[in-house]
Amino acid sequence: MSFTKIAGLGYYVPENVVKNDDLAAIMDTSNEWIIERTGIEERRFGTRTKETTTTMGARAAEIAMQRAGVEKSDIDFIIFATLSPDYFFPGCGVLVQRELKMTEYEAPALDIRNQCSGFLYGLSIADQFIKTGQYKNILLIGSEMHSMGLDFTTRGRNVSVIFGDGAGAVVLQPSDEPGILNTCLHSDGTHAEELASINPGSHSGYHLGTERFGYDDRKYGGTFLTQKMWDGEDLYPYMNGQLVFKTAVTKFPEVILEALQKQGLSPSDISILIPHQANLRISQFIQRQLKLRDDQVWNNIQRYGNTTAASVPIALTEAWEAGKIKKGDLVCLAAFGSGFTWGSALIRW
């Protein structure tokens, strides 16, 4: 059985830089408040008239394919991870195929809906396909256009100050040498609504609890989008920040240690940890828990905010471009997010 290697990687972020003071001008917040709670200093927002989740993903993919030395005709499977698709359906997989002018090759496209963990879930899927010989050149993309769906008022500041736009991509190929050593994936839907974008949706309040969301399915049942949703301005993401933080700092170390133990390794063996850029305070907590040095952890949330499914491939590409990842290094990827879903991957570079 062959191994799976990352043959090429790339990322794209919009040119538009939005600093904390820019947000403070339109909502009751401050640069100091945001930095203290998240570590974020600025983020990128796409240009509404020319950029989408798909187009950003395509730009990152082009760089990854060029670095991998593959042509469009070589790509035999596309995996696209996002929580902010261009359309409710179809998914971005086929849209990026069209954007890259690859439709004539008719490669299958798969969309991943695992939010912050989407890239790692996609990596695990690609790894299985490569190892079984089903595909030889898989294009995996994580891309997000959060700025199109955030509440930029004081009411929504706890969520809106965190997120940014961007995309990352990798090309995966078979290898005779160790590459992806393992992937560990988990989920627990108990608190699904504690980090979610509830509306619009097909639920119409059914099974979600009228106390929180205020919908009576007997009155609104079967309606995808109701006037009550508009009137209540209940069309934005919701996050129980304390619960998310508390769960993340537990599950992050657990899933990293799980991956290491499978290989008979310990945290000290990690050359570099690339965590999903959820919150700098979470990353710092994980670093302390695992007793890792500053040079063993890559953080870029200060400049890009939380780009969910795109954050791991963006950070991975940046670290590689900066010369922080070299042949033979043990690279650990980890993510936690909505669902809740979480996962990790160990890669021998």
Domains recognised in the chain with CATH numbers: 3-177 (3.40.47.10), 198-235 (no CATH)
Tally: H helices and E strands in the chain: 13, 13
What are the beta bridge partners of residue 9? 170
**Sequence-distant contacts of 88-95: CB under 8 A, at least 24 apart:** 92/53, 92/54, 92/57, 92/141, 92/143, 95/54
Cβ proximity of 139 and 92 under 8 Å: no
Catalytic residue among 114, 137, 184, 276: 276
What pTM value is reported for the model? 0.94
Could you give the C-alpha distances from 203 to 167, 190, 228, 340, in angstroms and in order? 30, 17, 14, 19
Tell me which residue of 63, 79, 81, 55 sits closest to 11, measured CA to CA.
Answer: 63
Specify the 3-state DSSP secondary structure of 172: strand
Distances from the Cα of 146 to the Cαs of 13, 166, 250, 327, in angstroms?
Answer: 12, 9, 26, 34
Chunk the chain into consecutive blocks of 10 residues (it has 349) and report each block's average pLDDT, rounded to whole numbers. 93 98 97 97 95 98 98 98 96 98 97 97 98 97 96 93 98 97 97 87 58 48 65 80 95 98 97 97 97 97 98 98 98 97 98
Q: Residues 20, 92, 114, 116: which is the catalytic one? A: 116
Q: Looking up tokens 């933080």, which residue turns up?
A: 245
- Exactly one of 92, 199, 306, 332 is catalytic; name it: 306
Going by C-beta distance under 8 Å and a sequence separation of 6 or more, which residues neighbour residue 277? 283, 299, 300, 301, 304, 305, 306, 307, 311, 314, 315
CA 28 to mean position of chain CA atoms: 28
306 is catalytic: yes
pLDDT recorded at residue 199: 79
Nearest Cα neighbor of 314 from 328, 300, 327, 326 is: 300
Query: For position 236, what pLDDT does the model report?
Result: 87
